[in-house]
Amino acid sequence: MPGMPNLHRTAVVSLVVSLVVSALFLSGCGGETDLSSFNDPTGTLDKSVISDTQITPVAEATPVTPPVVQPDVLIDSPDFNKTVSSPLLIQGKVRKSYTYEGAFPLIIIDETGNTLGQSTGRVTSLDMTQDYVSFTAEIKFQPTGSTGTLVFKNDNPSGLVQNEKSISFPVIFPAAATAATPPVPVSNPPTEPQTTDTGNWKVFKSSIFDFQVSLPQEFVKEIGKDKNILVSFHYPKSTTEGTNLSDARIDVLKPKVDEKCFNSTEKSQPLTKSVTFNGVKFMEDRFSDGGAGQINEQVIYSTVRDTLCHKIILNMRSTNIGMYDLATAPKAFDYKQVGKTYSDIMGSLKFF
């Protein structure tokens, strides 16, 4: 403008340029961007430098439901939340992998792991297209406490430890079944084993390994059966003839240096505790398994004396009475009496 000082002219030009730029910006952007509407769940975005075109909504993750793992045994009856009594009828479904030739073993034990009864489950329907098959089983037992455990085991003909499986169910016994037994009339046989007179028992002594043990006169000694067995003693068959007890014997293994003396490797999941006989501490391992109509039980006692590992194995093999009809079933052997004899033999063991 003529006559306008240069300073004033410069200010006017700057003002005009600013107005034009502002008008162009507002017309192109449609107004000021509202940054408060951005999706910023963490509160870490710098809203002064981010445009709305840079924000991508975060999709919510779809929850993943883990697969339901079904147990190997499904029980239809009885209801284990209620008390059970003998004979106990069990019905349900079991995986086919638990069975062999349509059968599998089961036992019932008390609170301390002692076997109260044993039986065999039988498959009642075999559908090879299904993972589970129906079964039924009946087991007889005598409760010794208020609770116990019913143990289902797979029939493992291979005998390999890695193939063994089991599943357990806690059971409740009626209060009446565990009450004190009333006095037995004199005319009836006693329900508990008689006190054993060991005075006339024979003594086996090993002068090499410095120990001795006493046994009933009727026990049959066997030497040389196995290179690892020092001596075996067989329970007299005359006392169990006509019963379902097919074999009962004691194996005294040859003592040897063994760093794994207390590690039982023959079977899995033993019931273990420490016991003492005549001042000598032993580790007691109890095992039970079955198959093909046979029930096998072992009690292994282990101790270390003068760097040598001593092992004594008590064996019992019996036929499952549940396999027979009532008319042809053998008489059940006196489980308590055999156990009492075994206990008295272990009580006679002495080191010198």
pLDDT in tens, 227-283: 889 999 998 888 778 888 888 999 999 998 887 787 654 444 445 778 888 888 998
Same domain assignment for residues 252 and 174: no
24, with CB counted inside 10 A (0-12, 13-18, 19+), is: exposed
Which two three-digit tokens encode residue 232? 């075996």
Find the farthest-apart pair of alpha carbons in the chain and give their distance in angstroms, rounded. Answer: 148
- 237 lies in some domain: yes
- Mean pLDDT across 151-157: 85
- 1 lies in some domain: no
Same domain assignment for residues 90 and 165: yes
Q: Mean pLDDT lowest for which of 189-193, 240-244, 341-345?
A: 189-193
Q: Mean pLDDT lowest for which of 123-132, 134-143, 196-205?
A: 123-132
CA distance 132 to 96: 6
- 191 lies in some domain: no
Per-position b or e across 38-57, b if 16+ CB within 10 A of its CB: eeeeeeeeeeeeeeeeeeee
Same domain assignment for residues 295 and 250: yes
Same domain assignment for residues 48 and 85: no
pLDDT of residue 88: 92
- CATH number for the domain that contains residue 218: 3.40.1000.10
Reported as a pLDDT band with limits 50, 70 and 90, residue 67 is low
Domain that holds residue 325: 202-351
**Which DSSP string do the residues of 174-193 spell out, in sequence order?**
-GGGGSPPPPPPTTSPPSSP
Which residues lie closer than 8 Å to 296 by C-beta, 6 or more apart? 287, 288, 289, 290, 315, 316, 317
Same domain assignment for residues 218 and 345: yes
Residue 81 has phi, psi (to 5 degrees) of -80, -10
Same domain assignment for residues 95 and 30: no
- 123 lies in some domain: yes
- Mean pLDDT across 127-144: 81
pTM value?
0.47
Percentage with pLDDT > 90 across the chain:
18
Please check the confidence at residue 132 and state whether its pLDDT lies above 90. Answer: no
Q: pLDDT tens, 275-329?
A: 888 888 998 887 777 666 778 888 899 999 888 899 999 998 888 766 666 677 7
CA distance 200 to 56: 94
Same domain assignment for residues 303 and 257: yes
